[in-house]
């Protein structure tokens, strides 16, 4: 009985870890000081990540292929704000705002279409 239960648990965990071929792994990475907006969009759906923060924060979601994704960031820290999008662990888009005008406000907007499979 114990052996059967152990085999069942092992099989269940292997099935749960099976790679999802229907969705792409999308990671949004934000680095900055005084980040006041961290908005991610997929299609018409928008999600806000907890703010404010200083430093680097990653958020990972799984989305269908052929989805339009966006990253919209704002910060009031006066340092460089950088946004990066990875799809299936490959960097696909990155942009930074170094606050060249010295107003202590930075903004980054990225968009990317996940290719169809």
Domain residues of the chain, as ranges?
21-113
- Rounded Cα gap, residues 5 and 13, in angstroms: 12
Q: Percent of the chain scored above 90 by pLDDT?
A: 71
**How much is the pTM?**
0.80
* Whole-number pLDDT of residue 100: 86
Token digits for 1? 């009985």
Whether 16 has a pLDDT exceeding 50, the answer reads no
- Rounded Cα gap, residues 39 and 18, in angstroms: 30
Whether 103 has a pLDDT exceeding 60, the answer reads yes
- Rounded Cα gap, residues 28 and 25, in angstroms: 10
| pLDDT tens digits, 20-52 | 578 999 999 999 999 999 999 998 899 999 999
Token digits for 74? 């704002």
23 contacts 66 by C-beta, under 8 angstroms = no
């Amino acid at each position: 009985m114990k052996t059967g239960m152990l085999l069942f648990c092992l099989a269940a965990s292997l099935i749960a870890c099976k790679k999802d071929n229907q969705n792409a792994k999308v990671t949004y990475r934000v680095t900055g000081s005084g980040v006041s907006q961290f908005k991610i969009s997929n299609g018409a759906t928008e999600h806000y990540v907890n703010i404010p923060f200083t430093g680097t924060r990653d958020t990972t979601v799984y989305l269908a292929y052929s989805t339009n994704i966006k990253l919209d960031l704002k910060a009031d820290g006066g340092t460089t704000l950088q946004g990066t999008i990875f799809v299936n662990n490959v960097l696909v888009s990155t942009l930074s705002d170094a606050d060249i005008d010295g107003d202590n406000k930075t903004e980054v907007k990225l968009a990317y279409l996940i290719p169809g499979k």
